[in-house]
Amino acid sequence: SYVLTQPPSVSVAPGKTATITCGGDNIAVKSVHWYQQKPGQAPLLVIKYDSDRPSGIPERFSGSNSGNTASLTISWVEAGDEADYYCHVWDEGDHRYVFGTGTTVTVL
């Protein structure tokens, strides 16, 4: 089955850049979506189709996808960006949607 691996945690100082990776076999051929989840809340779509920002998501959020790694980058990190982040793809081999293991972003 297809597995998406993320680092458990990323720590970043305010105003700096946080990069969250999502590793999967040849993930570059898939469309990757990213969700932000704050404590007690439902996930929120922040990046779709590798690098597109939905309406209302700040330009500070960007994404890329190449080779075996997709990435979510948060520039000029703010305290309000503290959350768990999940990547997401469709696995055509197993006919199911797969989510990454999740990364907790902590703003120092």
Partner 1 sequence: QMQLLQSGPEVKKPGTSVKVSCKASGFTFRTSAVQWVRQTRGQSLEWIGEIVVGSGLTRYARDFQARVTITRDMSTNTAYMELSNLRSEDTAVYYCAGKPCDSLSCPFDPWGQGSLVTVSS
Chain positions contacting partner 1, by CB under 8 A: 30-31, 33, 35, 42-45, 48-49, 54, 86, 88-90, 92, 94-102
Neighbouring CB atoms inside 10 A of 9's CB total: 12
Q: Is the dihedral of CA 12, 50, 98, 3 positive or negative?
A: negative
Smallest gap from Cβ 62 to partner 1, in A, equals 16
Cα(53)–Cα(34) distance, rounded to whole angstroms? 10
Smallest gap from Cβ 92 to partner 1, in A, equals 7
Smallest gap from Cβ 44 to partner 1, in A, equals 7
75 within 8 A of 62, measured Cβ to Cβ: yes
| CB nearer to partner 1: pick between 76 and 97 | 97
